[in-house]
Amino acid sequence: MTFLEKLLNYYSISEEEHAREASFSSLSFLPDISGCDEVQKAIARLRLAKDKKERVLIYGDYDCDGIMATSITKMALSRFGIAADTYIPSRYLDGYGINAKAVERVASDCDLIFTVDNGVAPLDAIQAAAEKHIDIIVLDHHSYETAPEPVVALVHPRTVGLDDPSVSAGFLSYLFSHALLGDRDPYFAVLGAMSLISDAMELESYNRLAVRLALRLLNRIRYSAISLLTEATFIDEKVLGMEIIPKINAVGRVETTSKINVLIKYFCEDDPVFRAEISEYLFAVNSERKTLTREAAERFPTCEEAAAVVVSDLPEGLNGLLASRLLDQFDRPVAVLSPDSKSEGVLVGSLRSREGFSITDFFATLPFTPLAGGGHAYAGGVSIRAEDFDAFKSAFIAFAENHPLQKETVEAIPIALSDITMENYKILRSFGPFGQGHRAPIFALTVNASALRYSYDGKRLQTPLGQNARLFSFRFGRGSLPEMGTVTLLVEFNLHEWREKFTLSADVVDAK
């Protein structure tokens, strides 16, 4: 069986279907939401704002999805003829989402508020705006039970028929920009696709196509706002997800002022000097974020509980990162809570888990009502009174004891050493991009243990295979694998770049 045939079998797709997917080479293949009622309501209200020269405020969010959605919407409204103001809230000064205080402070003298990635039903904000005769358009992708009233329009995956799979706010903003302008701007499409990755949307159907097309555009056009945030000369979804997007997210996690608003100018205005300055700032903030998270994780070298529950003095914006890191470290459900910077006597936290422990099910078992809580099965957020912490911790540990994490079953594709070639890597990439809901395959490689080679200090598996390919692992060094006989290695293909030279690496993730 050829390498291509193995992949076709793994993904349960025919060669004809695979070829047809690869033939979708234009942004015109992406969804068109211009005929949706809520979209037309929003466009009609924007047309009125343009004719009456009203003041419009775009109220965004501080994560990458919110930044992308705000930037796309601002540029689209500018081309439409509306010079809209923007505001990205500070996690520490403003909290999450638009609220009545925000309406009073930053939006009291505008005529129309366009919220993006702020939740669907900020009722206090809607009421405060209505009292001031300010209209609201909501563009969002979070779940809701009842549509908010009164709002002019609700542009949402459910109202535009894109809820299977659901889309990010940034990608929805791109689709709305096309409906508004009748133009599929490639830069908008790239920003929108980035938000699909940053918000871990399912990479199926139109979402995977959007990311695939965006990566082609990005590697051809090299938009400076994005390429300045990486040293890689070839950008794929891993470079976006591990290098570029974390720098954008780091500002909202670490910065305690409103400086995050510079990111809108960074993405919207082609100012080389300003972009160079801000890109350096993003590198520095991300470095600070990594240091703070690493130092916090080092305070917890062991965990004897069924689940790790931590009250940390880490800035609350880093709770999720620490929780994810401890989940990987201990392989147990984790809840990391910090004192709320805005409310005395309140703890805010992030929860992380895997298959077996549902965070949403856990919330239903709490013996008290949290101040706020939500998320999905494996990632959530919570806000509780400090006095309820002991009850929260006991409930969390009890639920973990009764709902242990399940070991993920990995279906590996058997390959030989001769399959590890650049040609086969290109074939693998034709099935990408990979991510949530469409994982890159793991390969099973059975080799003679005596043929394995290690780094000089013995800490790394480092076996050259010829033709710019290698077997590699930081996890397995000399002594951690048999020295004789055969060993089966579970590997994933990665392309490593060093000084503009590329090496195909079969990175070992486990051994049998």
Domains of the chain with CATH codes = 3-22+34-273 (3.90.1640.30), 308-402 (3.10.310.30), 412-511 (2.40.50.460)
**pTM for this predicted structure:** 0.92
pLDDT, position 41: 98
Give backbone dihedrals phi and psi of 410, rounded to 5 degrees, phi first.
-100, 120
CB 317 within 8 A of CB 253: yes
Mean pLDDT of the chain: 93
- In angstroms, what CA-CA distances link 102 with 128, 258, 278, 313? 9, 13, 26, 27
**Angle 438-442-448 (CA atoms, 0-180°, nearest 5)?**
170
Q: In this predicted structure, which of 23-27, 68-72, 101-105, 501-505 has the lowest mean pLDDT?
A: 101-105
Write the pLDDT tens digit of every residue in 140-161. 998 887 888 889 999 999 999 9
Q: Tell me the pairing of strands 412-415 and 372-376.
A: unpaired
Match 């000084």 to its residue by tokens: 499
Strands (E) across 340-397 are located at 346-352, 372-376, 379-385
Q: What distance in Å separates the CA atoms of residue 330 and residue 35, rounded to the nearest whole number?
A: 49
Write the pLDDT tens digit of every residue in 351-395. 999 989 999 899 999 999 999 887 778 888 899 999 999 999 999
pLDDT, position 310: 80
Q: What distance in Å separates the CA atoms of residue 439 and residue 433, rounded to the nearest whole number?
A: 9
Residues 6 or more apart in contact with residue 245 via CB below 8 angstroms: 64, 194, 197, 198
In DSSP notation, 152-216 reads SEEE-HHHHT--TT---HHHHHHHHHHHHHS---HHHHHHHHHHHHHTT---SHHHHHHHHHHHH
Q: What distance in Å separates the CA atoms of residue 483 and residue 448, rounded to the nearest whole number?
A: 9
Q: In this predicted structure, which of 121-125, 137-141, 449-453 has the lowest mean pLDDT?
A: 121-125
Q: What distance in Å separates the CA atoms of residue 334 and residue 277, rounded to the nearest whole number?
A: 37
DSSP 410: P
Write the pLDDT tens digit of every residue in 457-474. 999 999 998 778 999 999
Residues 6 or more apart in contact with residue 65 via CB below 8 angstroms: 117, 168, 169, 170, 195, 198, 199
DSSP 352: E
